[in-house]
């Protein structure tokens, strides 16, 4: 079986924006905007292997054969809530992508993911899937989300997170070794509440201002 690749995108523009997210003094408006910008920058990297095809066009000067994206069907699948914050930044680059939603929250005691919502495009099984969530902590949510997408028949699945803990990456690789993971940073680990250290706190609360 093909092994997953872990892509750490350590471009200076991205690293700067991640550092602003980490700062506890960054407010909701700025946090939300920067999550979107980071998602765009990461999407640029995660779509590097998209296929192009030759297309005949006419420039104002002459006929030309140019490259265009070959009609690949893509679905972006945010894990609710925090994943929603990444969607607009990605659809800005892939306007025709469809969006499926998976609602998961971590049980505060067990840290196990609990599913409460799921709505996918009808042709999801034919689409390449990009699951997005700012945080990959224990990896429980990511593993569950990938399981759901496989149950829908999806074959080509990628995962995109802003911050990851080594434990979360290990968990995803163990259960879904073929899934490529794109992250902006891999942090030290998890604290006793399974929060990423140093991390950025609770991504959902910081995007939606719920704390
Ligand atoms: C956060 C985050 C991930 C999950 C990561 O969501 O957005 O979905 O935790 O943790 P894990 O890797 O240990 O599963 P949370 O459960 O806080 O829900 P929310 O987005 O609704 O706040
Ligand atoms: N979920 C978050 O929002 N932050 C963490 O650090 C871990 C899980």
pLDDT at 1: 60
The catalytic residue positions are 106, 110, 202, 205
Is the CB–ligand 2 distance for residue 199 below 6 Å? yes
At residue 3, the pLDDT reads 75
Helix (H, G, I), strand (E, B) or coil at 38: helix
Cα 136 to middle of ligand 2, angstroms: 7
**What's this model's pTM, rounded to 2 decimal places?**
0.95
Q: Which ligand is nearest to the CA of 191?
A: 2
Ligand 2 within 6 A of CB of 162: no
The 10s digit of each residue's pLDDT in 156-171 is 999 999 999 999 999 9
Whole-angstrom distance, CA of residue 98 vs CA of residue 120: 9
pLDDT score of 71: 72
pLDDT score of 186? 98
Q: Which ligand has an atom closest to residue 190 CA?
A: 2
Detail the DSSP E strand segments found in the chain: 6-8, 52-58, 63-69, 74-80, 98-99, 101-106, 113-119, 128-132, 135-136, 157-164, 180-186, 189-190, 196-197
Provide CB contacts within 8 A for 163, sequence distance 6+: 18, 134, 135, 136, 183, 184, 185, 186, 187, 196, 199, 200
Q: State the distance from the centre of ligand 2 to the C-alpha of 33, rounded, in angstroms.
A: 18
Which residues, given as ranges, of the chain have pLDDT below 50?
none
């Amino acid at each position: 079986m093909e092994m997953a690749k872990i892509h750490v995108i350590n471009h200076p523009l991205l690293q700067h924006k991640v550092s602003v997210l980490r700062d506890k003094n960054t407010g909701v408006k700025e946090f939300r905007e920067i999550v979107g910008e980071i998602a765009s920058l990461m999407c640029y990297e995660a779509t590097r292997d998209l296929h192009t095809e030759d297309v005949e066009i006419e420039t104002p000067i002459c006929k030309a054969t140019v490259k265009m994206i070959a009609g690949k069907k893509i679905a972006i699948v945010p894990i609710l809530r925090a994943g929603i914050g990444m969607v607009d930044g990605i659809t800005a680059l892939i306007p025709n992508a469809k969006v499926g939603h998976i609602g998961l929250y971590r049980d505060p005691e067990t840290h196990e993911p609990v599913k409460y919502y799921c709505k996918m495009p009808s042709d999801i099984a034919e689409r390449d899937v990009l699951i997005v969530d700012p945080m990959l902590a224990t990896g429980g949510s990511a593993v569950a989300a990938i399981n759901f997408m496989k149950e829908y028949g999806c074959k080509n699945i990628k995962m995109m997170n802003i911050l990851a803990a080594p434990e979360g990456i290990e968990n995803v690789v163990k259960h879904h070794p073929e899934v490529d993971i794109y992250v902006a940073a891999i942090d030290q680990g998890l604290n006793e509440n399974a929060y990423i250290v140093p991390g950025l706190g609770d991504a959902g609360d910081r995007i939606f201002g719920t704390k």
